[in-house]
Chains A and B, each alone.
Chain A
Amino acid sequence: MAECTGNFVMKKNAVFIYSKEQLGYSFSDSHPFNQKRIVLTLDLLKKSGAITDSDIIAPRTATDDELFLAHDAKFIDVVKKAGKGEIKEAACEMYGIGTEDTPIFPNMHEASAMLVGGTLTAVDEVMSGRARHALNLGGGLHHGFKGRASGFCVYNDSSVAIKYIQQKYGARVLYIDTDAHHGDGVQWSFYDDPDVCTVSIHETGRYLFPGTGSITERGNGKGYGTSFNFPIDAFTEDESFLEVYRTAIKEITEHFKPDVILTQNGADAHFFDPLTHLYGTINIFHEIPRLAREMANKYCEGRWIAVGGGGYDIWRVVPRAWAHLWIEMNGLDAPTGPLPTDWVKRWQSESPVSLIETWEDPVPLYKPIPRKEEITEKNAQMLEQALQIIREKRESC
């Protein structure tokens, strides 16, 4: 790595990137992508005593030059014009905006560039050595492509951030994506790049958007072997999910030896999520950051940047799931028992569903899965095949 020295004594454990302006990324009140979940999470953390104002840093806005690192100038121009009402909807469609998934909204460019800027702020905090870890829940827009928006994502903050890390800090980046949807935009951005390793654990694309992310997508040319996909079956439960996650992340991190880890923390692999078909519980959102932090400490001197992502049950799932992420970043004990009553009181009246009032999920959360054994066995076989490439190399050494 070129430059990533820092004063360990002065280092903060973690910083939280947030300002109200991040909420400007809003398609409509009825759209499933709703940034109110960040407000709910932050409020939960505050009322739990896990965060103070001094932990919070305001995001900056990404410049056009920074966006050019991962996006075409023409696409950015169309987004700018669309957000100002200067271009017809039909002319935007080939750029993936003005669709039901990614409708046009006022100041679309400014709001999207701020989410990217938030992730860049997180990057600078960590790479300059001011903090060991940084969290930007406004980021994680992993479906954004070079010249096209897709799946609720306009600009791809992770792709821009990784290019920025490479250019400014010369570091090798491990990108870990645990959103229930395949992290296609980030994967294709670095498909040929041997210095960026992308890992995505997601529900199989047989039925679920975007349909990609098979184990055979391993990278191309010099980047062959630095793209990993773990498509797990619909109805996968915690144990099988975590078996795939733990095994994959431990072996890949040891193999790739990154300088920094960037994790995308979609919270849509939960049973309650309306857009996916995985049967995760809150436990996976406690375990995911725990291992990420362990790997960052072991291989990257703690350098870990985390971003948000999907998560469409914003009342019962996302606040608790993302709170776990921040709590883990700060090395605090995992909370148990009731949620702060003032948080429940504050938000229950707005919620269309009954809030879960404890850190844990109710037991049982769902009826037993009829094909649990087959699903577990199939996931185990997929894990084996996906990791074969590095296991073979290890054995031949």
Chain B
Amino acid sequence: MLIEEIMKLDVVTLFPSNTVKDALEIMLENKIRHLPIITEDQAVVGIITDRDLKEIVPSTMSDSIDKNVYDIKLSEVMTKNPITAHPMDFVEESAVVFYTNQIGSLPIVSNNKLVGIITETDLLYKYIELTGAHQPGSQIEVRVPNIPGILFEVSKVFYEHKTNVLSVLVYPDKENSANKILVIRIKTMNPLQVIDGLKTAGFEVLWPNVPGIS
């Protein structure tokens, strides 16, 4: 999946000449935590986050509040030349960029112009969609040998039972690296026939079936 499919197009931005006060207000108003700072021709020159602002603005509990900090220009406090991504980058790759750089948002730039933004929240929601957990279904866990073609063998059972698969996740088996655990969400309230089918086909169904309780 490409970033252009999940990025937000309507990006709230400010200019380097805007002030800390402007940034605080616009973040509060729009309930956002990341502000790309752009030039007149839409080029991204910086980014400022709510965390940056918290470090600049003194606590309201403080005795002496220096009002001048609110007038500081963003050009002085923004993170210059932030990490950006392209609309045609893969979502998975971007997730790695978030993780390795410990950042909370990525401005999306094309032809030197800001065209969108994605945040950690967008990625998390996409992950939820990938697991299929947001739509009605039952979950089945199957232990399979880690060999080519095994997914085909498993999915054949779903085909035979006319069961619609919502999502498939593949996990390593902690107990035995020669195996994988398939976590499959299927669109049914009655998974019993499918489970029987999987067992008949020789697969080990881990759930529903907990060790020690049969």
Interface: B190 (CB within 8 A): yes
Q: Residue B208 at the A interface, CB < 8 A?
A: yes
Interface residues on A, range: 20 to 34
- B interface majority secondary structure: loop
Interface size on B, residues (CB 8 A): 24
Out of A100, A181, A369, name the residue touching B188 (CB < 8 Å): A100
User: In the complex, A143→B207 CA distance in Å?
Assistant: 23
Q: Which of B133, B139, B164, B190 contacts A275 (CB 8 A)?
A: B190
Asked if A357 is at the interface (CB within 8 A of a chain B CB), the reply is no
Q: Is the CB of B163 within 8 A of A212?
A: no
Contact B163 A208 (CB under 8 A): no
Q: Which single member of B162, B163, B208 contacts A207 (CB below 8 Å)?
A: B208
- Complex CA–CA separation, A151 to B189 (angstroms): 5
CB-nearest residue of chain A to B185:
A211
Contact of A209 among B161, B189, B193, B213 (CB under 8 A): B189
**CB within 8 Å: A-B pair count:** 63
Q: Are B213 and A370 in contact (CB under 8 A)?
A: yes
A212 contacts which chain B residues (CB < 8 A)?
136
Q: Is the CB of A100 within 8 A of B162?
A: yes
Contacts of A207 in B (CB 8 A): 138-139, 207-208
Q: Which residues of B contact A208 (CB under 8 A)?
A: 138-139
Q: Which residues of A contact B210 (CB under 8 A)?
A: 234-235
Q: Least Cβ distance of A124 to chain B in Å?
A: 31
Given that A100-B190, A101-B190, A143-B189 are contacting pairs, would A211 and B162 also be in contact in the complex, using a CB cutoff of 8 Å?
no
Docked Cα-Cα span, A99 to B163, in Å, equals 8
- List, in ascending order, chain B residues with CB within 8 A of A32's CB: 190, 192
A residues at B contact (CB < 8 Å): 32, 99-101, 143, 150-152, 181, 184, 205-212, 234-235, 274-275, 277, 367, 369-370
Give 27 CB contacts A-B under 8 Å.
Answer: A32-B192, A99-B164, A99-B187, A99-B188, A100-B193, A101-B187, A143-B136, A150-B189, A151-B136, A184-B136, A207-B138, A208-B139, A209-B138, A209-B188, A209-B189, A209-B191, A210-B136, A210-B137, A211-B133, A211-B135, A211-B137, A234-B210, A235-B213, A275-B189, A275-B190, A275-B192, A369-B213
